[in-house]
Chains A and B, each alone.
Chain A
């Protein structure tokens, strides 16, 4: 399937799930853009939450319900809150100028250019690839399956991830607490 077919698929009949996907995808992308473009960091944070929720919705649509929940809990829940806290802690200027673009315009332009190039190249790669799609139709891979993997084949990463979180916590505490300057 190549890009033309993609376009064609849009003009020809769209199933409901397709429409849903398009809607979700649209929301997600737009909110993501919002994150980037908003001049107020708080707005960005809000957009970010929306994006996370959109991604969660995508998961649901991909029959990854458990993951969707995790996404909502961890991202939309924990991380976003964390961000907001941080923002509150470091807010001292006018909210309107809290989230401006980089000073140097060339950086922004080249950055945009690079981003577009990346997108173009990657899309091309994706479009021209024959994906080894499997015909098997499987239902929602539930938490039990993942649990089995985590405690079975992937126990090492699992344990290491635990250590990683510990490290992160300790580190975050140390860094955030800081030391009294002498």
Chain B
């Protein structure tokens, strides 16, 4: 019988995958993608929670929508940054971005 916890586990799973991606990918854009994965995972949580705990209030969905909006904005800025840094370094490889350290 599929319950809330399954959805949450699904969310957690997506979250962890995204997390792993963030930690391990080299390409800045891929990292942004993984961030999106994490945000989607959170959204799944919100929606599922609303469905099972506060049905009919729309609270979770609202939260999810806001998250989507923010995510979109973040992606926009992020990609702009990637482009701008690519313009300077001709690279999107995070390993190359270590002028700032120590």
B is a partner of A: yes
Residue positions of A touching B, CB distance < 8 A: 1, 6, 9, 15, 17-18, 21-22, 25, 28-29, 32-33, 35-36, 41, 44-45, 48, 51-52, 55, 58-59, 62-64, 66-67, 70-71, 74-75, 78-79, 82-83, 85-87, 89-90, 92, 98-103, 107-108, 110-112, 114-116, 118-119, 122-123, 126-127, 129, 131-134, 136-139, 141, 145-146, 148-150, 154, 157, 161, 164-165, 167-169, 171-176, 178
Cβ-defined partner of B33 (8 Å) among A33, A48, A132, A165: A48
Q: Chain B residues near A165 (CB, 8 Å)?
A: 69, 72-73
Residue positions of B touching A, CB distance < 8 A: 1-10, 12-21, 23-27, 29-30, 32-34, 36-37, 40, 43-44, 47-48, 50-59, 61-62, 64-66, 68-77, 79-84, 86-87, 90, 92, 94-95
Tell me, in angstroms, the Cα distance from A126 to B77 when the chains sit together: 34
Tell me, in angstroms, the Cα distance from A100 to B30 when the chains sit together: 9
Q: Chain A residues near B56 (CB, 8 Å)?
A: 136, 138-139, 141, 145
The answer to whether residues A168 and B21 also contact, given A51-B40, A86-B29, A141-B58 and a CB cut-off of 8 A, is no
Cβ-defined partner of A176 (8 Å) among B27, B50, B84: B84
- Closest chain-A Cβ to B72's Cβ sits at a distance in Å of 6
Q: Is the CB of A172 within 8 A of B76?
A: yes
The answer to whether residues A164 and B73 also contact, given A29-B10, A90-B86 and a CB cut-off of 8 A, is yes
Q: Chain A residues near B47 (CB, 8 Å)?
A: 58-59, 62, 64, 67
Q: Is the CB of B77 within 8 A of A175?
A: yes
Tell me, in angstroms, the Cα distance from A123 to B58 when the chains sit together: 25
Tell me, in angstroms, the Cα distance from A75 to B12 when the chains sit together: 20
Tell me, in angstroms, the Cα distance from A47 to B51 when the chains sit together: 27
Q: Chain B residues near A63 (CB, 8 Å)?
A: 51
Q: Is the CB of A82 within 8 A of B24?
A: no
Q: Chain B residues near A98 (CB, 8 Å)?
A: 27
Q: Chain B residues near A172 (CB, 8 Å)?
A: 76-77, 79-80
Q: Is the CB of B24 within 8 A of A107?
A: yes
Q: Is the CB of B72 within 8 A of A79?
A: yes
